Amino acid sequence: MNVPPDKPIIVLDPTGERRPATRQRLDRLQSLSGITVGLLDISKPRGNVFLDRVQERLRERGVEVKRYRKPTFSKPAPVNIRQAIASECGAVIEALAD
């Protein structure tokens, strides 16, 4: 996504908050060198197929990868999964495929 740095990004959260949480955007990573990338499968059909290919491509480039899977796509990831990703990874890719 190429968005000018001075243009705000609005992210809609489908979890039904009455007042959306405001979060500051993180700076884009300059490189994946030395970064562990978490791959989160949200349990939608064929999301794992997409993440298998992403994992293959990242490992070809020497990037360390960790895999995570939500129990169901219809609810947010459990706290333990979110905490693991936050503490173990410097970046995350989430599969949203059907």
On whether the CB atoms of residues 21 and 13 are closer than 8 A, the answer is yes
| Closest C-alpha to 31, from 90, 81, 71 | 90
Q: Fill in the DSSP letter of residue 69.
A: E
Q: Fill in the DSSP letter of residue 34.
A: T
Q: How confident is the model at residue 62 (pLDDT cuts 50, 70, 90)?
A: very high
The pLDDT tens digits for 17-47 are 677 677 788 888 999 999 999 999 999 888 8
d(CA 55, CA 53): 5
95 or 76, greater pLDDT:
76
User: What pLDDT shows up at residue 1?
Assistant: 56
d(CA 50, CA 35): 20
13 or 32, greater pLDDT:
32
